[in-house]
Amino acid sequence: RQNEQALVLQKQRRHIASEARVAYAMGRQQQVKLLLNQEQPSVAGRMLTYFGYFSRARMVQIDSIHATMEALRETEASIQGKTRILGGLHDRRQSASERLREKKQARKQVLVQINSELQNQSGELRRLGENEKQLQKLLASLQELLADIPAELSQQPFRSLKGKLHWPARGRLTARFGNRRGSSGLVWQGVMISAPEGTRVRAVSQGRVAFADWMRGFGLLLIIDHGEGYMSLYGHNQALYKEVGEWVDTGEVVATLGTSGGQTRSGLYFELRHNGRPVNPVRWCAGEPASRS
């Protein structure tokens, strides 16, 4: 539409220019001369009439040019407005495209992170399973070795102590028996007691040290045999104070807890087992670790 209006305006301007040249050729004083021409009054009258027609036609054309120019200005203003709108739409589309790219990149990063976590969880699950198998193998071999060793005559049957044992360390239970170990699918075979590094670890009952060494996944590990197939396990220690074969009394300090075995926070891993199978320490110990006497 703007092109059509521009062509019309150009045509009108050419026409006005042509008429202006004709008028100029006739001379500025032509009308005055005609009025003073007394020899041919009829001719003068006709020429004046023609001049009137010409002048009115030219005014109509000038008005038409003005109207065309006004319409052209309105069209240009409309085009500019639409251009601004289109520019805004373009900017919004660019912004939307940028946000979409950012979301895609964020989703890609999330997928990479999820895959990494899945791989880590798979490795963690495999590692925990291997650690448990290693511990079971150790306990089985210890039971065979200890089967022929007689218990002390004064030793109280461990089974009679259910619900009466003191916790091995003061602290807070941060993992409970039977709970899931994160997203690994495995469950806790014992409990974790969170406490400051260096907190003393005590034997829950009298018995004989069956193992005192480093073990993968458990750090510095101490195992006490209490007879009748019962054993207590103390893992992630900072230091071990007893050696294999030593007899310990109830409440005797046997270690200090720490972060050994790859722990990020200090604490004690505590298990009770009967014939190699884990039992819930909460059912065997009285109260909570924080209230240990």
Quote the domain boundaries for residue 265: 149-291
Token reading at 18: 């042509």
- Write down the pLDDT at residue 33: 59
Residues 68, 9 contacting (CB under 8 angstroms)? yes
117 and 207 within one domain: no
247 and 176 within one domain: yes
159 and 97 within one domain: no
158 and 31 within one domain: no
This prediction's pTM: 0.56
**pLDDT (tens digit, 9 = 90+) per residue, 231-287?**
999 999 999 999 998 999 999 999 999 999 888 899 999 999 999 899 999 999 998
265 and 160 within one domain: yes
134 and 161 within one domain: no
Lowest pLDDT segment from 4-8, 60-64, 66-70, 259-263: 4-8
The torsion angles phi and psi of 35, rounded to 5 degrees, stand at -65, -35
The torsion angles phi and psi of 83, rounded to 5 degrees, stand at -65, -40
DSSP for 200-226 reads: EEE-SS-EEEEEEEEETTTEEEEEEEE
Q: Is the pLDDT of residue 66 over 60?
A: yes
133 and 163 within one domain: no
Domain boundary among 80, 105, 138: 138
Lowest pLDDT segment from 28-32, 63-67, 146-150, 192-196: 28-32
Kindly state whether residue 144 falls inside one of the protein's structural domains.
no
Token reading at 190: 């014992």
Kindly state whether residue 234 falls inside one of the protein's structural domains.
yes
φ/ψ region of 13 (left if φ > 0, alpha if ψ in -120 to 50, else beta) reads alpha
Domain boundary among 138, 159, 179: 138
247 and 115 within one domain: no
B/e letters for 80-92, b = 16+ CB within 10 Å, e = fewer, are eeeeeeeeeeeee
Report the domain count for the chain.
2
Kindly state whether residue 143 falls inside one of the protein's structural domains.
no
Contacts of 194 (CB under 8 A, 6+ apart): 171, 172, 173, 174, 265, 266, 267
Kindly state whether residue 277 falls inside one of the protein's structural domains.
yes
161 and 129 within one domain: no
Residues 165, 282 contacting (CB under 8 angstroms)? no
Domain boundary among 138, 157, 189: 138
Between 79 and 285, residue with greater pLDDT = 285
CATH number at residue 183: 2.70.70.10
Contacts of 272 (CB under 8 A, 6+ apart): 190, 204, 230, 231, 232, 233, 278, 279, 280, 281, 284
114 and 8 within one domain: yes
80 and 50 within one domain: yes
**pLDDT (tens digit, 9 = 90+) per residue, 11-40?**
766 666 666 565 555 555 555 555 555 556
Kindly state whether residue 206 falls inside one of the protein's structural domains.
yes
Kindly state whether residue 244 falls inside one of the protein's structural domains.
yes
Q: Is the pLDDT of residue 216 over 90?
A: no
159 and 81 within one domain: no
- Write down the pLDDT at residue 125: 60
